[in-house]
Amino acid sequence: MLGFFTLVPICAVIALGFALFLTLKILKADEGNEKMVEIAQAVREGAAAYLKRQYKVSGIFFLVVFCLLMLLAFQGYLVIFVPFAFLTGGLFSALAGFCGMKIATLSSARTANACQYSLNQGLRLAFSSGSVMGFIVVGLGLLDLSFWFCSLDWYYSHHLVPDGMDKITATTSTMLTFGMGASFQALFARVGGGIFTKAADVGADLVGKVEAGIPEDDPRNPAVIADNVGDNVGDVAGMGADLYESYVGSIVATAALGVAAGLGVNGVTVPMMMAGVGIIASIIGMNFVSTKEDATQKALLSALRKGIFIASGVVVAAAYVIIRVLLGPEYVGIAWAVITGLAAGILIGLCTEYYTSAHYKPTQHIADTALTGPATLIIEGLSVGMQSTAFPMVIIALATIAAFGLAGGFENFSLGLYGIGIAAVGMLSTLGITLATDAYGPVADNAGGNAEMAGLDPKVRERTDALDSLGNTTAATGKGFAIGSAALTALALIAAFKEKVVLEGAVMDLDLMDPLVLVGLFVGAMMPYLFSSLTMSAVGRAGSEVVVEVRRQFKEIAGIMEGTAKPDYARCVDIVTTSALKEMRVPAVIAIVTPVAIGFLFGINSVGGLLIGATASGFLLAVMMANSGGAWDNAKKYIEEGNHGGKGSNAHKAGVVGDTVGDPFKDTSGPSINILIKLMSMVSIVFAAIIVDKSLF
Amino acid sequence: MLGFFTLVPICAVIALGFALFLTLKILKADEGNEKMVEIAQAVREGAAAYLKRQYKVSGIFFLVVFCLLMLLAFQGYLVIFVPFAFLTGGLFSALAGFCGMKIATLSSARTANACQYSLNQGLRLAFSSGSVMGFIVVGLGLLDLSFWFCSLDWYYSHHLVPDGMDKITATTSTMLTFGMGASFQALFARVGGGIFTKAADVGADLVGKVEAGIPEDDPRNPAVIADNVGDNVGDVAGMGADLYESYVGSIVATAALGVAAGLGVNGVTVPMMMAGVGIIASIIGMNFVSTKEDATQKALLSALRKGIFIASGVVVAAAYVIIRVLLGPEYVGIAWAVITGLAAGILIGLCTEYYTSAHYKPTQHIADTALTGPATLIIEGLSVGMQSTAFPMVIIALATIAAFGLAGGFENFSLGLYGIGIAAVGMLSTLGITLATDAYGPVADNAGGNAEMAGLDPKVRERTDALDSLGNTTAATGKGFAIGSAALTALALIAAFKEKVVLEGAVMDLDLMDPLVLVGLFVGAMMPYLFSSLTMSAVGRAGSEVVVEVRRQFKEIAGIMEGTAKPDYARCVDIVTTSALKEMRVPAVIAIVTPVAIGFLFGINSVGGLLIGATASGFLLAVMMANSGGAWDNAKKYIEEGNHGGKGSNAHKAGVVGDTVGDPFKDTSGPSINILIKLMSMVSIVFAAIIVDKSLF
C-alpha cells in the first residue's frame, strides 16, 4: 500500500543531507581571533548546559506522562504504540532543537568574523545557519512520521486491527496521538527558553544599561553571556520546537481527516507527499536567494522573499499534480486549499511587517508618542497591537472558510475539514526556507554581541546591526507565521479530535447554545490570559533575581567597571537556568490538566468548546503581544537612528521602557500561546477515549 | 391578562418618587461659599453643554436609524412599533443619564461643604446623590417597559396578531427589539463620555502634573474644569446608560425566553415583577446603611455591603414567592437561578476588590515593581490584569451552567435558557442600591476638586480624599458588576436572538465545526480588540489636543501660574467635547454594521458565532483592562501614602506612568466593551428578519 509514499522518507533524508552539507560549509569558515573564539565558546557552553538541564527536567515530565500513557494503554484506552511514539516525538523534537542551537552557536563568531570582510558574507553565513535549523526540523519531523507510518502499516498488515476499524483508520488514528510528544517538548523549549531569554535580557538591561549606563552587550555586564545564551535557547531552540510541532501536528491531523473523508490511503499520502515536495521546493527556493556584494537591506529582504515565493510556486504546482494523480481530477479543488494556506501565511507576514516595521506609520506613530513620555507610548503600542489583530484574524477566518469551501465542504462536510487541514499543511510545507529566514536573526544578534565583546572595529558592529535589523523584520514576520500556522493546525487538530471521539463510539455536538459547550468555550478563551500572566510574571521574577546578582557582582568584585576584573558570567547563566526551569512547571501542568479536568467534569462537548475558545482568544492575544512588542522594539530603534532627539533623549528613555515591556510580550508570552493551543488539542485527542468513558456529563 | 403585572409600574413610580425625595433632601443642603458655587456652576455648565451637544450628535444617528427601521417596517421585516420604541428607549436612557449627571453636579459642592463639618455628612450627601442615579435608572427603565407592555397588550387584544404567533409571543418579540434604543444611547454615553473624561484627565495630568509640576485639581490648570466635567459625563452618565441598557435588555430577553419556554404570560410577568420587587428591596437595603459619626472607612464599606446583602436577601425571598405563586411549585428551581445571578454578581465584585485594592498582595506587588522603574510596573500590572480574568470567567461560566441546570434545562432546554435570563435579571434586580455605591464615587471626586480649587482647609481635601478612596473601591467593584451583568445579559439576548430567528421561520444551528459559525466566532472575538484599539487611540489623540491647548494657554496668558489671571477653562471643555463627539463615530458605526454585514455575507449562524465570540473575548478584555487600570491607580495611591519613598520618589514617577496607562484602560476602553457586546446582540435581534431573508448563505 505504500507506493508513492516511499518518496516521503527520501525527501526527509535529502533535507537532512542538505542540512549536513550546509553545516560542513559553515564549519569551514574561520571563527576569528582568540577572544572571539573564547566568547563563542562561553555562549556555546552556557547554551549546552541550559539545554542539558532542561532536558533533564523535561525528561522527568516525559517519564511521568509515559507511565500514565502506559497505564491508559493497559486499560485499553490507547493502543500500545502511543506511549512509545510519544517518546520518539519528544526525542526528535529535542534533537532538532539541540542541533539548531548547536549550529547557531557555532555560527555567531564566524558571522562576526565574516562581517570583518563584507556585509554580504556575514549575511550568507548567518542565513546558512538558519537554513540548517529549517531543514533539520522538516527532515527529522518527516522521518519520524515515515518511520511510524511504515511500522504501523506493516504491523496492522500482519496483526488484527482494533474493533470497528480498517487498517488505514487504525494507522492514522494511532499516528494522531504522536504529535503529543512533540507538543510536550515544544512546551518546555518555548516556555522555558522564552523565560530564560527575556529574564536575562531584562535583567541585563535594567542594571547594565539603565543603572550603570554601559552599552548593550558590554563585556563588563555579568549578565551579558546569559543574554546571548538566551537568544539561542529561546529564539532558536524554542522557535524550532514550536514549528516542529505545527509541522508534525498538521500532517497527522490532515491524514486522519483524509481517512474520515473517505479518501483512504491516498488521503494520507497527500499531506505527507506535499511536505516532502515542500522540502525540494525549499531547496530550489534557497538557490534563488542570491545578492550582489553591495546589496542594500531592501534588496536583501526582497532576495529572501523571492526564495520564499519561488518555493511556494513549486509547492502549488506540485500540489496540483499530486492531488490530481493520487485523488483524481474531481478533487483538484483541494489543491486550491493549499494555495489558500500558503497565501494566508504570506499575507499574515505582510500585515505583521506593516504593523511592526519602522518604515510604516503605526510604528512611527508610536515613536511620536514617545515625545509625551512612556505612558502615551505604552498606550499607543497596546492600541497598535490590538488593531493589528484585525486583519490576521479576518485572514485566518477567510482562509478557513475558503479552504473548506474550495475542497468541497459545502457538498461534503468531511472533505471540507480535510481542506482546512491541507491548508495548514500547505502553509507549513515551505517551512525549510521560512524557518531559515527566522532562525537567522538570533545568529546575527549573537554575532553583534560577539563583535562588541571582542572589541572589534565599530564597522563590524554596524554591519552586524544591519543584519540584526533585517533579522528583526524577518523575526516579526516569522512570529506571525508561527501563530498563523499554529491556529490553522489547531483547527485541523480539533476537527481530527472530533473524528477521534466518533471512533470512540461517542457523538460530539458542539452546539454553542449548549451551556456545557459555552462553559468550555469561556474557560478556553480565558486560558491564554492565565498562561500569559504566568509567563510574564515569571520573567519579572527571574529578571529581578538577575538584577540582584548583577548588582552584587558590581559591588563585590572590584575592578569590573574598569575592565581589570572579569565578572562571574556562569553565575548569571546558572540563575536564569534555575529560574526558567522552575517557572515553566506551573504553566506546563495547567496546559495538560485543564482539558482533561474540563472533560471529566463537563463532558467531551465542553472540551471541544475549550479548544476553540482557546484557539480564537489565544490567536488574538498572541498576535497582539507579538506585534506590540515588535513595534515598540522598532520604535526604539527608530528613535536611536536620530529621530525625536535620538539616543539619550527623553523620547529614547520612553522608547526603552516600551521595548522592555515588549520583551516578554513578543518573546515569551506571545509565542508560548502557540504551544498552549496546540498542546491542549493534542492532550484532548490522547485522552479522548477515557474522557468519553468516565466523564460526569 | 395584566393581573399581578399592575404592581410593576407602581414599583417604577415608587423608585422615581424615592429619587425625587432624595433630590429634595440634597437640594436643601448648603452649597458653600461663593467660590465653591462658582466652580460647581462651571462644572455644571460644562457637563450640560457637553451632554447637549452629545444629544445633538446622537440625535442625528437616531434619526438615521429611525428612518432605516421605518423602511424595514414598511417592508414587513419589523412591526411598526419598533422604530417608535427605539426612540423611547433612547429618550428614557438619555433622560436617566441627564438627571443623574444633573444631580451629581448639584451635589459636588454640597459634599465638599458637608465635609467641612464631618466625614460622615459628606458621605451621606455623596451617597444620596449616587442613589438618585440608581433609582432614576431603574424607575425610568421599568416605566418604559410597563408602558409598552400595556400598550402592546391592549393593541394585540383589539387587533390581529402577526401570522403564526399568539398575543403574548407577538408582544414579547416586539418588546425584544426595544432594547436597541437604550443600547444605542448607551454607546454614545459610554464611548463619548469615556473618551471625554480620559482625554481631559490625561491631558490635564501630562502638562499640569508632569510638565508644570502643579498638583491635581489646581485651579491654574486650564484643563481642570474639563477634567471635573469628565467625571460626570463619563463615570456618571456613561455608567448609568450602560446599566440602564443591561437592566432593560435582561428583562426583555428573559420575557421572550419565558414565552419560548411555554410559560405564557406569567413567564413574562416574573422578570418584571422581580425587577419591581428589587426596587422595594433596594429601598429597604438603603435604610440599613447607617454609620456612626466617627466610622472608619472599613466600617463605611461594610455598612454599604450590609445594605446590598439585605436587599439581595429580600429579592431572593420574594423571587421564591413570586415564582411559586405565578409559575407553580414545580418551577421553584428557577428561584435558585436568581440566587445564582445575585451570588455571581457579589463574587465578581469581591474578586475585583482583591485584585485592585492596595490592601491585598497583587496591587502591593505592582507597587513593589515600581522600584525597578515603569517598565516592570507595566509588565506586572498587565500580568495582574490577565490573571484577574480567571476567577470572574469561571464564575460566569459556572453561574451560566448552574442557572441553566437549576431551572431544569437538562430536562427542558428552553427552561434552562429562561434560567440564564432570570439569573441576569436577579443580578440586576438590586441595581437601585448597587448603582448608588458606584455613582457616588465621581461625586466625591468632584467634591475634592471643588475643595482644592476653592482653597478650602486641607482637612476638607483629606476628607474628600478618604471618600474618593472608598469610591475607588466601590467603583472597581461596580465595574466588575457592570461587565458581569453585561455578559449574562448578552447571553440572554443571544438566546432570545435564537428564538427570534425561529419565529422568522429559519433554523439556527450553532455547530462550532461549521466554518461559517467559526468565521463569526473569530471575527466576534476580534471585535473587542479593534474597538478597544479605536477608543484608546482616540483618548491619545484627544489628550494631545488638550496638551497643545494647555501649553498654549500657559505661554500666551500671562499670570496664570501666579494666579493673577484666569485660564480659559471653556476652551478646553470645548476641545474635548468636539474630539469626543468626533471620535465616537467610527466605533459606533463598526458596532452596528458588523453583525449586519456578517449576517448578509455568511448567514444567521455566523451572526450567532459572532455574538458569542464577542461576549467571551470582550468579557476577558474588559475585566483585564478594568482591573489592570484599577490596580495601577491604587498602586500609585499606595506609593503616595509613603511606601517605597512616597510622593516625588522614582517609584512614584513609575506609579504615575502606570496610572496614566490605566486611565483609558479602566474608564474608556474596558467599559465600552460592555456596550459593544450588548449592542451587537440587540442589532442582530432587530435585523434578524432581513438577514434571514437576504443572506448569501
The proportion of chain A whose per-residue pLDDT surpasses 70, expressed as a percent, equals 99
pLDDT at B517 over 70: yes
Q: Do B513 and A417 touch (CB under 8 A)?
A: yes
Cell of B657: 506612568
Chain A, 364-423: which have a CB under 8 Å from a chain B CB? 369, 372-376, 378-380, 382-387, 389-390, 393-394, 396-398, 400-401, 404-405, 409, 416-417, 420
Rounded distance, CA B499 to CA B501, Å? 5
Q: Give contacts of B385 with chain A, Cβ < 8 Å.
A: 533
Chain B environment of A619 (Cβ under 8 Å): 522
Shortest CB distance from A530 goes to which of B390, B532, B657?
B390
Residue B1 has pLDDT above 60, yes or no: no
* Radius of gyration from C-alpha coordinates of chain A: 24
Asked if the model's pLDDT at residue B211 lies above 70, the reply is: yes
Q: Tell me the residue type at B397.
A: A
Give CA–CA dist A536/A606, Å, rounded. 28
Closest residue, chain A, to B420 (C-alpha) = A515
B384-410 pLDDT, tens per residue? 999 999 999 999 999 999 999 999 999
Name the region of A457 (left: φ>0; alpha: ψ -120 to 50; beta: rest): beta
pLDDT digits (tens, 9 = 90+) for B609-652: 999 999 999 999 999 999 999 999 999 989 988 999 988 898 99
Are A384 and B533 inside 8 Å of each other by CB?
yes
Question: Which chain B residues are within 8 Å of A208, Cβ to Cβ?
Answer: none
Closest CA of chain A from B55, distance in Å: 28
- A602 and B401: CB-CB below 8 Å? yes
A78: Cβ contacts below 8 Å, ≥ 6 apart: A69, A72, A177, A686, A689
Yes or no, beta carbons of B519 and A613 under 8 Å apart: no
Residue A561 grid coordinates: 567597571
Long-range (24+ apart) CB contacts under 8 A made by B154-162 are B155/B81, B157/B1, B162/B79
Q: pLDDT value at position A548?
A: 86
pLDDT (0 to 100) of residue A53: 86
Please report the pLDDT score of residue B597 as a whole number: 96
pLDDT at B295: 67
Asked if B356 contacts B363 with a C-beta cutoff of 8 angstroms, the reply is yes
Do A513 and B417 lie within an 8 Å CB cutoff? yes
Say what the ipTM of the complex is: 0.93
CA dihedral A266, A269, A271, A272 (to 10 degrees): 180
Per the document, the length of chain A is 697
The three-class DSSP label of residue A511 is strand
Q: Do B512 and A608 touch (CB under 8 A)?
A: yes
Q: Decide: A520 and A607 in contact? Cβ < 8 Å.
A: yes
C-alpha distance from B420 to closest chain A C-alpha (Å): 10
Reading the block at residue B244, the C-alpha cell is 440602564
Kindly calculate the radius of gyration of chain B based on its CA atoms and give it in whole angstroms. Answer: 24
pLDDT at B679: 93
Taking contacts as CB-CB distances below 8 angstroms, the residues of chain B near A374 are: 374-375, 657
pLDDT digits (tens, 9 = 90+) for A67-113: 999 999 999 888 888 899 899 999 999 999 899 999 999 999 999 99
Show the domain range for B307: 3-694
Q: What is the pLDDT of residues B47-82, one digit of tens each?
A: 888 888 888 888 998 999 999 999 999 998 888 888
pLDDT score for A543: 87
Q: Do A386 and B516 touch (CB under 8 A)?
A: no
Query: Which residue on chain A is closest to B199 by alpha carbon?
Result: A376
Q: A511 vs B511: CB contact, 8 Å cut-off?
A: yes
Minimum distance, in Å, between the CA of residue A2 and any CA atom of chain B: 32
Residue pair B115/B447 in contact (Cβ under 8 Å)? The answer is: yes
| Assigned C-alpha cell, A359 | 518604515
Highest-scoring range by mean pLDDT, A534-538, B217-221, B473-477: A534-538
Nine-digit cell at B115?
A: 465635609
pLDDT at A480: 84
For B645, the enclosing helix (H) or strand (E) is none
Query: Hey, which of A614-618, B44-48, B85-89, B477-481 has the most confident mean pLDDT?
Result: A614-618
pTM (predicted TM-score): 0.94
Binned at pLDDT 50, 70 and 90, residue B217 comes out as: confident
Do residues B273 and B4 touch, judged by C-beta distance below 8 A?
yes
Residue B483 has phi, psi (to 5 degrees) of -75, -35
pLDDT of residue A501 exceeding 80: yes
* The predicted structure's pLDDT at residue B293: 64
Selection from A124, A110, A514 nearest residue A295 by Cα? A124
- CB contacts < 8 A (A, B): 234
The highest-confidence range among A263-267, A686-690, B220-224, B612-616, by mean pLDDT, is: B612-616
Judged against a pLDDT cut of 90, whether residue A231 lies above it is answered with: no
**Residue A544 near chain B (CB below 8 Å):** yes
B516–A401 CB contact, under 8 Å: yes
- Look at A516 and B386 and tell me if their CB atoms are within 8 Å: no
Nearest Cα residue in chain B from A499:
B513
Question: A509 CB near a chain B CB, below 8 Å?
Answer: yes
Give the list of residues 6+ apart from residue A475 with CB closer than 8 angstroms, or none: A235, A438, A441, A630
State whether B404 and A530 contact (CB < 8 Å): no
Which residues on chain B are in Cβ contact (under 8 Å) with A537? 379-380, 383, 387
Q: Alpha-carbon distance B664 to B656, whole Å? A: 14
What pLDDT shows up at residue B385?
Answer: 96
State the pLDDT at residue B398: 94
The C-alpha atoms of residue A529 and residue B394 are separated, in whole angstroms, by 13
> What proportion of chain A, given as a percentage, has pLDDT over 90?
50
**Residue A575 CA to chain centroid, in angstroms?**
25
As a whole number, mean pLDDT of residues B517-546 equals: 93
**Residue pLDDT, tens place only, A243-273:** 899 999 999 999 999 999 989 888 999 999 9
Residue A394 and residue B694: Cα distance in Å, rounded?
A: 22
Interface test with A, best of B351, B518, B546, B660 (most A CBs within 10 A): B518
Closest CA to B464 of B442, B431, B491, B438: B442
Name the A residues in 5-64 with CB < 8 Å from any B CB.
Answer: none
B513 vs A495, A617, A624: nearest CB: A495
> What is the rounded CA–CA span in Å between residue A208 and residue A220?
9
First-to-last alpha carbon distance for chain A, in angstroms, is 41
Dihedral-angle region of residue A29 (phi above 0 means left; psi in -120 to 50 means alpha; beta otherwise): beta
Q: Which A-chain residues 612-641 have CB contacts (< 8 A) with chain B?
A: 612-613, 616-617, 619-620, 624
A534/chain B closest Cα distance in angstroms:
7
Averaged pLDDT score across all residues of chain A: 89
Residue A180 has pLDDT above 60, yes or no: yes
Residue of B101, B176, B167, B179 whose CA lies nearest to B133: B101
Is residue A277 within 8 Å of residue A321, measured between CB atoms?
no
Instruction: List the single best residue of A209, A364, A386, A594 to mutate versus B (max B Cβ within 10 A).
Output: A386
Question: Longest Cα pair distance anywhere in chain B, in angstroms?
Answer: 77
CB B506 within 8 A of CB B607: no
| A409, A521, A608: residue with CB nearest B616 | A521
Give the model's confidence band at A234: pLDDT under 50 very low, under 70 low, under 90 confident, else very high: confident
Following CA atoms A493, A498, A499, A504 in sequence, which dihedral angle do they give, to the nearest 10 degrees? 120
Nearest CA in chain B to A628: B533
Q: Note whether A210 contacts B400, CB cutoff 8 Å.
A: no
Nearest-angstrom CA–CA distance, B247 and B55: 21
| pLDDT beyond 70 at A1 | no
Phi, psi (rounded to 5 degrees) for A511: -75, 120
The answer, for A511 touching chain B at a CB cutoff of 8 Å, is yes
Report residue A533 as a C-alpha cell. Answer: 500572566
Among chain A residues, the shortest Cα distance to B628 is held by: A533
CB of B689 less than 8 A from some CB of A: no
- Residue B522 has its nearest CB partner, among A396, A512, A518, at A396
Q: Do B525 and A664 touch (CB under 8 A)?
A: no
Judging contacts by C-beta atoms under 8 Å, the chain A residues touching residue B404 are: 515
**B515 HSE (CA, 13 A, CB side):** 31
Among A205-214, A617-626, B61-70, B506-515, name the one with the lowest average pLDDT.
A205-214
Q: Which of A417, A510, A530 sits opposite B512 (nearest CB)?
A: A510
Write out residues 334-353 of A within 8 Å (CB-CB) of B: none
Per the structure, the count of domains in chain B is: 1
- B201: chain A residues, CB-CB within 8 Å: none
Buried b / exposed e along B204-240 (16+ C-beta atoms within 10 A): bbbbbbbebeeeebbbbbbbbbbbbbbbbbbbbbbbb
User: Per-residue b/e over A217-244, b at no fewer than 16 CB within 10 Å?
Assistant: bbbbbbbbbbbbbbbbbbbbbbbbbbbb
- Segment among A586-595, A686-695, B118-127, B521-530 with least mean pLDDT: B118-127
Structural contact between residues B138 and B116, judged by C-beta atoms closer than 8 angstroms: no
Question: What is the percent of chain B where pLDDT is above 70?
Answer: 99
- The string of DSSP letters for B159-183 reads SPPPTT--HHHHHHHHHHTTHHHHH
Residue with cell 455536538: A509
| Listed range (A119-123, A277-281, B247-251) with the worst mean pLDDT | A119-123
**Spatial distance between the Cα atoms of B366 and B381, rounded to a whole number of angstroms:** 6
The whole-number pLDDT of residue A293 equals 64
The minimal CB distance from B522 to the residues A409, A540, A616 is found for A616
- Quick check: B465 and B441 in contact, CB under 8 A? no
Percent of chain B with pLDDT over 90: 50
* Residues within 8 A of B (CB atoms), A 662-681 only: 664
**Average pLDDT over chain B, rounded to whole?**
89
Query: Is residue A517 a contact partner of residue A608, using CB atoms and an 8 Å limit?
Result: yes
Name the residue among B268, B263, B196 with its Cα closest to residue B442: B196
Helices (H), B261-412: 264-287, 297-326, 333-356, 361-369, 374-387, 390-406
Assigned C-alpha cell, A91: 526525542
Q: Which three cell numbers stand for residue A619?
A: 490567536
Are B373 and A613 in contact (CB < 8 Å)?
no
**What is the average pLDDT across B650-656?**
91
Asked if pLDDT for residue A211 goes beyond 80, the answer is no
Inter-chain contact A537–B375, Cβ cutoff 8 Å? no
Picking from B620, B303, B280, B635, the residue whose alpha carbon sits closest to that of residue B440 is: B303
- Grid coordinates representing B113 are 461643604
For A377, nearest residue in chain B (alpha carbons):
B661
Q: Name the grid cell of A490.
A: 489547531
Model pLDDT, residue A295: 67
Does A302 touch chain B if contact means CB atoms closer than 8 Å? no
Cα-based angle A55, A57, A61 (whole degrees, multiple of 5): 105
Side-chain-side CA neighbours of A664 within 13 Å: the count stands at 31
pLDDT at position B455 is 86
